[in-house]
Amino acid sequence: MEILNQIDFINAISMNPFIALALLAGLAASVSSGITGSFIVVKRIVFISGSIAHSVLGGMGLFLWIRRTFDLPFITPLQGAVLAAIASALLMSWVRFKYKQREDTIIATLWSTGMALGVIFVSLTPGYNVELMNFLFGNILWVNQTDIITLFALDILVVAVTVIYFKRFQAVCFDEDQAKLQGISVNKTYSLLLCMIALAIVLLIQVVGSILVIAILAIPAAVASNLTRRLSSMIGLAIIFSMLFTILGTFIAYECNWPPGATIALTSALMYIASIFKQQISSKYF
């Protein structure tokens, strides 16, 4: 029966373009999420992803309000999300280094401010704002070819930036003081890293929504961190785990008729819990 279900799922992928594109989007998102998620876990700034993910709602709400109020069809919520994400990342970095503020305080401020602005502009925008609902909860089944191309473009950008600045990112993530001694501009490197994370978050939100984006970013990298202490190996494993969780989550969603984005996030969380138990058992008996 299980084999028949797998065959049925494979047939559904080949015959249903919505499922095929959704799976492809999840796999494409796995590359950028595996890379940026690894830096997030190593630097211990997991909740920054949640802060940026919720702060973008203010930019989306503003651009949606402008488009409908002034009848400007070329203005899209995604543009507002990108600008808000980059602005939040740069502001977070600037306040942290300029005023030596605690990151958790900055995160809470951006989180609440973005959500508040989003709610205000949504209330001012007439009609049912399906775009914002999709960004909140995700709607991977509605991705199109343009979204796929955008995700692959993001992958290329993230991979290129990581290859060029890998040693700098690694130094800043592990020890900022040592990075300064090596002549690395910690402020600029950290800002660049946050901007790269912000771009990844905006596009990942289209897959799982802002509420679940932390799971798809951090969990595969967290599972990988239980298996290796080498950052480059961790990134590779995080990408592989993210792809596996995406495939398994999509399969479960298809069989149970569940929302794919939420199912992928739930699958990732269960696999993380399983990896913790496995690690504890291994350390106890071996």
Tens digits of per-residue pLDDT, 4-18?
A: 455 676 776 777 777
- Predicted pLDDT at 148: 83
Q: Average pLDDT for residues 159-169, to the nearest whole number?
A: 95
- Predicted pLDDT at 194: 93
- Predicted pLDDT at 213: 82
Please say if the pLDDT value at position 1 is more than 60: no
For residue 229, name the pLDDT band (cuts at 50, 70, 90). confident
Structural domains in the chain plus CATH codes: 2-276 (1.10.3470.10)
Q: Is 247 exposed, middle or buried (0-12, 13-18, 19+ CB in 10 A)?
A: middle
Tens digits of per-residue pLDDT, 96-154?
A: 887 766 667 777 888 888 888 888 887 887 765 666 666 666 667 777 787 788 888 88
Share of the chain above pLDDT 90, in %: 29
**Cα–Cα distance measured from residue 23 to residue 183, given in angstroms and rounded to the nearest whole number:** 43
Which of 17-26, 106-115, 190-199 is predicted most confidently?
Answer: 190-199
Contact criterion met (CB below 8 Å) for 53 and 212: no
- Predicted pLDDT at 61: 84
Q: Average pLDDT for residues 245-272, to the nearest whole number?
A: 88
For residue 171, name the pLDDT band (cuts at 50, 70, 90). very high
- Predicted pLDDT at 86: 92
Q: Average pLDDT for residues 227-252, to the nearest whole number?
A: 92
Contact criterion met (CB below 8 Å) for 25 and 148: yes
**Cα–Cα distance measured from residue 277 to residue 283, given in angstroms and rounded to the nearest whole number:** 10
Amino acid, single-letter form, for residue 263: T
- Among 120, 110, 106, CA closest to 84: 110
**Cα–Cα distance measured from residue 224 to residue 253, given in angstroms and rounded to the nearest whole number:** 24
Give this prediction's pTM. 0.87
| Encoded tokens for 155 | 């992958």
Tens digits of per-residue pLDDT, 53-109?
A: 888 888 888 888 888 888 888 888 778 888 998 998 998 888 888 776 666 777 788
- Predicted pLDDT at 168: 95
Q: What is the mean pLDDT of the chain?
A: 84
**Cα–Cα distance measured from residue 270 to residue 80, given in angstroms and rounded to the nearest whole number:** 34
